[in-house]
Amino acid sequence: MKTATGNTSIMDMFEEGKVVKICAPMVRYSKLAFRSLVRKYSCDVCFTPMIIAADFLRSVKARDSEFTTNTSDRPLIVQFAAQDTQTLADAACVVAPFSDGVDLNCGCPQRWAMSAGYGACLINKPELVKDMVRHVRNQVDNPNYTVSIKIRIHKDLRQTVDLCQKAESAGVSWVTVHGRTTEERHQPVHYDAIKTIKESVSVPVIANGDIKYLRDVESTHQLTGVNGVMAARGLLANPAMFAGYEDTPLQCIWDWVDIAVEQGTPFSCFHHHLIYMLERVSSQPERKVFNSLSSTSAVIDYLQNTYGSIHDLEP
């Protein structure tokens, strides 16, 4: 890893008046290779998958496997799960030379995370979140380094507004709001709640949830007034979504093959991404065949035979 030098603040993006387009933190999926792909297709900012801060600090092996980057992997936000102020601040100091900010996960609704004191249980601990944000601010000596939080909403929105205002008072750079409660999974996103939060703070607010096409970026912005949007499943299905493609273009599929092979992506990850990308554009019999492939060479042969090679795209 090389230390980035002279990087400007990521906050400048929010001042340009455009809606910032962000790749969400996704367990197993938003790793370096996938970040490299979506950056080719109009993604402005990428998050790492959630990293448990305590494990990251405890083990060199965990650091090497959980956090990989390169000089073109910017702007980059490292998302941590943490339950105490010092652990988060120490982890932030480790990654600060190689990234543009850290994000505290206050939104993961999975039972294991909440029972361990991570994720969405933190939305009910506003004073702790406030202290964690302030502690990172005080310990990282780069004034341009961002500290953000990603949250879910409460049933009583006044609690969410209070949480965001407390985080703002501690120096939070921005807030990402997944517009569902901890109990909700596939229910409609509460855009009205995101709008209320946006109107209650002066820092940028990012909307997350159900961003599947580029048109959803604009409609979410219109409904809520947010400064940016974050996509997860929408980008898995179509990494070129932010560039305006309705479905994954062939060029993007071959770009993924090139990046994955070049970076030595494990086959299961390489294959899984392609399963997502091809879901909308392939028939059920085609998917059945593709899902059963078990080697990189078999996948490449299949793609060439079914969709054509990259040379077929050249005029």
- Judge whether 149 and 79 are in contact, CB under 8 Å: no
Residue with tokens 């969410």: 160
- Judge whether 101 and 77 are in contact, CB under 8 Å: yes
Q: b/e map of 105-118 (b: 16 or more CB within 10 Å)?
A: bbbbbeeebbeeeb
- Judge whether 273 and 36 are in contact, CB under 8 Å: no
- Whether 232 has a binding-site annotation, put simply, is yes
Q: How does DSSP classify residue 105?
A: E
- Whether 26 has a binding-site annotation, put simply, is yes
* Residue 108: active-site member: yes
- Whether 251 has a binding-site annotation, put simply, is no
Contacts 24+ apart (CB under 8 A), 294-300: 294/267, 295/267, 296/261, 296/267, 296/270, 299/257, 299/270, 299/271, 299/274, 300/257
Give the residue among 82, 93, 41, 106 at the shortest CA–CA distance from 242: 41
- Whether 217 has a binding-site annotation, put simply, is no
Q: Sign of dihedral through CA atoms 102, 107, 112, 113?
A: positive
At 299, the amino acid letter reads V
- Whether 25 has a binding-site annotation, put simply, is yes
Q: Is 251 exposed, middle or buried (0-12, 13-18, 19+ CB in 10 A)?
A: middle
- Whether 221 has a binding-site annotation, put simply, is no
Enter the tokens of residue 89. Answer: 């601040």
- Whether 92 has a binding-site annotation, put simply, is no
Enter the tokens of residue 178. Answer: 């997944």
Give the residue among 46, 40, 2 at the shortest CA–CA distance from 20: 46
Of the candidates 46, 106, 108, 164, the residue annotated as catalytic is 108
Residues taking part in catalysis = 108
List the binding residues for FMN: 25-27, 79, 178, 232-233
List the binding residues: 25-27, 79, 178, 232-233
